[in-house]
Amino acid sequence: MKENPTLELDSPIIDIEVKELLSRGAEAEIWRVNWFGRDAVVKKRVKKGYRHPRLDDNIRKSRIKKEVKLMVLARSAGVPVPIIYDLRLEDKTMIIQYFNGLRVMDAINDGYEVDLKTIGKHIGRLHKAGVTHGDLTTSNILFSPESENFCFIDFSLGEQESSIEDMGVDLHLMREALISVHDNPLELYEEVLEGYREVFNGAEGTIERVKKIESRGRYQ
Ligand SMILES: Nc1ncnc2c1ncn2[C@@H]1O[C@H](COP(=O)(O)OP(=O)(O)O)[C@@H](O)[C@H]1O
Ligand SMILES: [Mg+2]
């Protein structure tokens, strides 16, 4: 990481005050900012030097666009996601609401009572709408201990017209993530499934698929 990283934008936003870099992954930088007086996050997809510049531009534009689209679909399905304030394709950037909370993984590890049945319901709502998340680990769900609200983030690997396999992968990732953070993992996964079954008619199909995905993993 650079000593003093800065948020680089081709078309600078005048009314933006950059506060801190929250995360820098292989694909994106996440900055906490003040945007027209609102507590917000800038997610910027970063350049990949190994791709032809024009191709890289197009890929990053289409990925950020896809992420916004999936967030809109998730929200209309009743899944809590950050409010989208702006999409700036030229900068491969979206500006979204800052959610004050911690990652579900950290919340569970810190001993907070996290309502996994509600998480299961949200996943069920998403799948009922045909949408999958694609990277449904407990790092991509935020939790506020004060309000007990959740916020689903990071939809960049999701799908809009998902197959049973896509849905199975979502649940499988959730299950794996729960196993990695807690010493009573299967019970936690069962809580997720309870909520999932309650809202989604196709739940059994997905749950069967998760078993297949897992046995494939075992014998590979
Ligand atoms: N809207 C948000 N509010 C608060 N924190 C956020 C928000 N979006 C992202 N973050 C923080 O930044 C991290 C990385 O963001 P994410 O969208 O998952 O990017 P990546 O694709 O790099 O995983 C998250 O785990 C979370 O801690
Ligand atoms: Mg993430």
pTM: 0.94
Calpha distance 211→214 (Å, rounded): 5
Helix (H) or strand (E) holding 42: strand 38-45
Q: Read off the pLDDT of residues 86-100 as tens digits, 9 standing for 90 and up.
A: 999 999 999 999 999
Residues lining ligand 1, judged by CB closer than 6 Å?
22-23, 25, 27-28, 30, 41, 43, 82, 96-99, 103, 139-140, 153-154, 156
Neighbours of 187 (CB within 10 A): 10
Domain 102-219 fold is: Transferase(Phosphotransferase); domain 1 (1.10.510)
Please indicate whether residue 135 is annotated as part of the active site: yes
Instruction: Name the residue of 20, 30, 98 whose CB sits within 8 Å of the most ligand 1 atoms, as the mutation to test its pocket.
Output: 30
CATH number corresponding to 16-97: 3.30.200.20
pLDDT at residue 2 above 60? no
Q: Where are the domains of the chain?
A: 16-97, 102-219
Asked whether this chain's domains 16-97 and 102-219 adopt the same fold, the reply is no
> Which atom of ligand 1 sits closest to the CA of residue 97?
1
The tally of CA atoms less than 13 A away on the side-chain side of residue 163 is 4
pLDDT of residue 219: 65
pLDDT of residue 1: 47
